Amino acid sequence: DARVTQTPRHKVTEMGQEVTMRCQPILGHNTVFWYRQTMMQGLELLAYFRNRAPLDDSGMPKDRFSAEMPDATLATLKIQPSEPRDSAVYFCASGLVLGGRPWDEKLFFGSGTQLSVL
């Protein structure tokens, strides 16, 4: 079964440290999303890539967060410096959008990275 792979599954770090989360989308998918989920806010979109180009990162705090896709098989989300309020589950999802057609493909989510910033 094709799946989205996220690493690490769990990360505990101290405030001020850099955190890097990685995502391997499903082979052939051309869209990648980063979401953050907390009990209070639900799923918040942080960044959205299509064909490795960032299309929307308006949900991401720019001063400390950055998202990249160095190649089609890897997406990264970095937080530097991390803060306790960044504690959440970070999900990566991938999907396939075919140009000009309404979205009719489902999103596949990774298992998430549980981040705790002390």
The footprint of another protein (CB under 8 A) covers 33, 35, 41-43, 45, 48, 50, 55-56, 91, 97, 102-104, 106-107, 109-112
Evaluate the CA torsion angle 24, 65, 69, 20 in order and state its sign: negative
Query: Among residues 2 and 55, whose Cβ is nearest to another protein?
Result: 55
How far apart CA 21 and CA 77 sit, in angstroms, is: 5
Q: Shortest gap between Cβ of 34 and another protein (angstroms)?
A: 12
Task: Name which of 63 and 104 has its Cβ closer to another protein.
Answer: 104
Write down the least CB distance from residue 116 to another protein, Å. Answer: 14
Task: For 51-111, give the secondary structure using H, E and C.
Answer: CCEEEECCCCCCCCEEEEEEECCEEEEEECCCCHHHCEEEEEEEECCCCCCCCCCCCEECC
48 versus 65: smaller Cβ distance to another protein: 48
CB 83, CB 15: distance < 8 Å: yes
Residue 43 CB, nearest approach to another protein (Å): 4
The least distance separating another protein from the CB of residue 61, rounded to whole angstroms, comes to 19
Tell me the pairing of strands 10-13 and 113-117.
Answer: parallel
Which residue's CB is nearer to another protein, number 12 or number 55?
55
